[in-house]
A and B are shown apart, each in its own frame.
Chain A
Amino acid sequence: NAGVTQTPKFQVLKTGQSMTLQCAQDMNHEYMSWYRQDPGMGLRLIHYSVGAGITDQGEVPNGYNVSRSTTEDFPLRLLSAAPSQTSVYFCASSSQGASDEQFFGPGTRLTVL
């Protein structure tokens, strides 16, 4: 099993550009989530999903969109990138939701100029 994979590993955008961060898992996990990690701020929940077709907002959802059309994939879209979105983004998944161990991807380091 590959576990949780994220692409790309690094990305540089200009302000106003859009892009999609990809996240996939091969463990048949129902629960998936996106976090951003900033120095001194820990991990902050952006969006999460408890299953295909179901998504909900986390602590910092503004500027980000998600969809969950399959169990395996949970892409994160930045519609119009801003310098404040410069961060490291982590995707995670678990089989039993928020009460279970979360398996994290390796992260995507995004810089917005």
Chain B
Amino acid sequence: AQSVTQLDSQVPVFEEAPVELRCNYSSSVSVYLFWYVQYPNQGLQLLLKYLSGSTLVKGINGFEAEFNKSQTSFHLRKPSVHISDTAEYFCAVSSNRDDKIIFGKGTRLHILP
């Protein structure tokens, strides 16, 4: 069975500074990896996904993530954050062995002025 660990429950960062949100996964089979964002009082929307191919994945709003199979990681990065990036970010994993998607516990990104 898959599992996901988001190492930080909250990350404060100054506006225009870079940020990295960490995600590690556990699985015995090939995985599909996702990052979703949840703005206050809204549902989730997809930022980016890794299915196969290039390990560097670019998503919406200037975010990108790198799949590292040896370290079982899929960290999310943005070179310069804005106040509008204030949200909760969720890493998720699935595989071709079953139809379940497992989410991490989320990381709250706080942008400091």
User: Which residues in A have some Cβ–Cβ distance to B below 8 Å?
Assistant: 4, 31, 33, 35, 40-45, 48, 50, 56, 58-59, 90, 92, 97-99, 101-102, 104-107
Contact = CB atoms under 8 A, between A and B. Distances in A.
Contact of A35 (B98, B99, B103, B106): B103
Interface residues of B, number: 25
Given A40-B105, A42-B104, A99-B51, A106 B42 contact: yes
B45 interface: yes
Contacts of A99: 32, 51, 94, 96
A90 B36 CA distance: 14
B105 A45 contact: no
24 contacts: A31-B99, A35-B103, A40-B9, A40-B105, A42-B90, A42-B104, A42-B105, A43-B90, A43-B103, A45-B100, A45-B101, A45-B103, A48-B99, A58-B100, A90-B43, A90-B44, A98-B94, A98-B100, A102-B34, A102-B101, A104-B43, A104-B44, A105-B43, A106-B43
Contacts of B104: 42
B45 A104 contact: yes
Tell which of A97, A98, A105 has the most Cβ of chain B within 10 Å.
Answer: A98
Interface of B: 6, 9, 32, 34, 36, 42-46, 49, 51, 90, 94-96, 98-106
A33 B101 contact: yes
Given A48-B99, A98-B99, 18 more contacts: A31-B99, A35-B103, A40-B105, A42-B6, A42-B105, A43-B44, A44-B103, A45-B103, A48-B100, A98-B32, A99-B51, A101-B46, A102-B34, A102-B36, A102-B44, A104-B43, A106-B42, A106-B43
A45 B102 contact: yes
B107 to A, nearest CB: 10
B36 to A, nearest CB: 8
Contacts of A44: 103
